[in-house]
């Protein structure tokens, strides 16, 4: 506690929402974007990446603490910001903004890396939000998402798609178009009634394991480059359009069936998108009362999204729990990146 009468310290906070991708995932990955253009339909949920930045007044020291990973680091010079696998997301942001003042930085997320909810990209968006607020930079939502993509995918070379950064920056339900020279976010005006029904009938299930998405994405890109998945990705892109139309019209049983079709297509992207354990859990859920669903993110683990018959959702939850899954309720989040100040 600071002594009585001492000036209060400024703290800047940021939170950015994690996302659920309903369809089109895989078409947001290069080189498909450049050659054929991709689309994704997604929505953000009430799970977040958080950050707090507390400027130091008297020294240039940078102290970073990841509360989830239980990792701490202390830097005194810019030469120490080498990419070595430890807090590289933070280092990429530091290299971009080159702060002249010391600070303490605290990070944590509601989902671990490899969850399929876009957690690493969402952390990057939250980090950029902190520096945007602190340095009073006039960055738009597009600017934040573009920079997050550049730092994560290009500067750090982390394999992945392009949707997560835009979902976290904008928030809400979006139909996102990916072109060679531009990304366009189309916010969807989904009625409150439809959102309520989606929340009522959907379930997130943690499969009990995370996965390294980069390896799956790498194989997906190789398959596309040899022409093996072009048709499947084209069908996936059309499915995203169909999902959008079903959602906007409130045809949720159709929406659930389309989720299932998308999952069947997605399993052709790469060999490790699914696993015997995931297949067993999903088929058991379908037999018990799930209309459709899919593994989120690149696949291989993380969270499974299930759309259920309303009167059998509890049976589905019981069944997946018996197979080692962790059912989780959630709500949709309308807002994207948010930053604010506190003094304490």
CB 15 within 8 A of CB 126: yes
Quick: pLDDT tens for 32-85.
Answer: 999 999 999 999 999 999 999 999 988 889 999 998 888 999 988 666 788 988
Does the bond joining 117 to the residue before it have cis omega, within 30 degrees of 0?
no
Instruction: List, in order, residues 6 or more apart from 282 with CB less than 8 Å away.
Output: 263, 274, 290, 293, 295, 304
Quick: pLDDT tens for 156-185.
Answer: 999 889 999 999 999 999 999 999 999 999
Q: Give pLDDT, residue 243.
A: 98
Catalytic residue (choose from 59, 164, 279, 311): 164
Average confidence (pLDDT) over 325-335: 95
Q: What are the tokens at 154?
A: 């290009």
Pairing of strands 173-178, 183-187: antiparallel
CB 132 within 8 A of CB 341: no
One DSSP character per residue, 256-292 reads HHHHHHHHHHHTTT-TTSS-HHHHHHHHHHHHHTEEE
Q: Give pLDDT, residue 115.
A: 86
Question: Could you tell me the residue ranges of all domains in the chain?
Answer: 10-189+336-343, 192-328
Residue labelled with tokens 């904008």 = 170
One DSSP character per residue, 289-313 reads TEEEEEE-TTSSSSEEEEEE-TTTH
What angle (nearest 5°) sits at the alpha carbon of residue 130, between those of residues 128 and 134?
Answer: 120
Confidence check: pLDDT of 7 > 80: no
The CATH classification number of 192-328 equals 3.30.70.890
CB 243 within 8 A of CB 255: yes
Q: Give pLDDT, residue 55.
A: 95
Q: Give pLDDT, residue 4.
A: 60
Quick: pLDDT tens for 260-288.
Answer: 999 999 988 887 888 899 999 999 999 99
- 3-class secondary-structure state, position 195: helix
CA-to-CA dists, residue 37 to 174, 179, 183, 238, angstroms: 17, 5, 10, 12
CA-to-CA dists, residue 41 to 81, 125, 168, 233, angstroms: 36, 19, 13, 14
Q: Give pLDDT, residue 2.
A: 52
Quick: pLDDT tens for 183-242.
Answer: 999 999 999 999 999 999 999 999 987 656 667 788 888 888 888 889 999 999 999 999
Confidence check: pLDDT of 293 > 70: yes
CB 45 within 8 A of CB 332: yes
Q: Is 58 exposed, middle or buried (0-12, 13-18, 19+ CB in 10 A)?
A: exposed
Q: Give pLDDT, residue 212.
A: 60
Confidence check: pLDDT of 29 > 80: yes
Q: Give pLDDT, residue 6.
A: 56
Between residues 93 and 69, the one the model is more confident about: 93
Q: Is 300 exposed, middle or buried (0-12, 13-18, 19+ CB in 10 A)?
A: buried
Neighbouring CB atoms inside 10 A of 146's CB total 18
Q: Give pLDDT, residue 224.
A: 83
* Residue 143 is among the residues annotated as catalytic for this protein: no
C-alpha count within 13 angstroms, C-beta hemisphere, residue 103: 21
CB 304 within 8 A of CB 205: yes
Q: Which CATH class is domain 10-189+336-343?
A: alpha beta
CB 107 within 8 A of CB 90: yes
Residue labelled with tokens 């959008």 = 244
Confidence check: pLDDT of 254 > 90: yes
Q: Give pLDDT, residue 279.
A: 93
> What is the spatial order of strands in the sheet that 290-295 belongs to?
290-295, 303-308, 202-206, 326-328
77's enclosing H/E stretch is none
Quick: pLDDT tens for 114-149.
Answer: 788 899 999 999 999 999 999 999 999 999 999 999
Backbone dihedral region of 52: left (phi > 0), alpha (psi from -120 to 50 degrees) or beta?
Answer: beta
């Amino acid at each position: 506690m600071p002594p009585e009468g001492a000036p209060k310290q400024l703290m800047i906070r940021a939170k950015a929402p994690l996302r659920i991708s309903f369809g089109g995932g895989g078409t947001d990955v290069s080189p498909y974007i450049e050659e054929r253009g991709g689309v994704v339909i997604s929505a953000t949920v009430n799970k977040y990446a958080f950050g707090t930045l507390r400027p130091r007044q008297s020294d240039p020291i940078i102290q970073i603490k990841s509360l989830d990973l239980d990792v701490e680091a202390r830097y005194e010079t810019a030469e120490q910001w080498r990419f070595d696998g430890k807090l590289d997301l933070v280092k990429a942001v530091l290299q971009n903004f080159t702060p002249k003042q010391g600070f303490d930085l605290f990070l944590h997320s509601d989902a671990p890396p490899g969850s399929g909810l876009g957690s690493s990209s969402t952390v990057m968006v939250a980090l950029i939000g902190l520096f945007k607020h602190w340095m009073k930079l006039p960055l738009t939502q597009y600017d934040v998402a573009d920079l997050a993509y550049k730092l994560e995918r290009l500067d750090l070379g982390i394999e992945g798609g392009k949707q997560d950064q835009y979902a976290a920056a904008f928030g809400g339900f979006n139909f996102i178009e990916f072109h060679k020279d531009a990304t366009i976010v189309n916010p969807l005006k989904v009625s409150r009634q439809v959102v309520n029904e989606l929340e009522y009938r959907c379930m997130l299930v943690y499969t009990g394991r995370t996965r390294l998405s980069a390896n799956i994405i790498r194989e997906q890109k190789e398959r596309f480059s040899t022409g093996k998945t072009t048709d499947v990705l084209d069908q996936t892109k059309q499915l995203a359009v169909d999902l959008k139309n079903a959602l906007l019209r409130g045809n949720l049983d159709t929406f659930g069936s389309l989720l299932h079709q998308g999952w069947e297509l997605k399993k052709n992207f790469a060999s490790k998108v699914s696993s015997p354990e995931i297949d067993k859990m999903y088929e058991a859920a379908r037999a018990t009362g799930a209309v459709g669903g899919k593994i989120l993110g690149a696949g291989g683990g993380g969270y499974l999204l299930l759309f259920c018959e309303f009167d059998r959702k509890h049976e589905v939850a019981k069944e997946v729990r018996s197979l080692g899954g962790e059912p989780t309720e959630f709500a949709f989040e309308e807002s994207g990146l948010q930053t604010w100040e506190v003094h304490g």
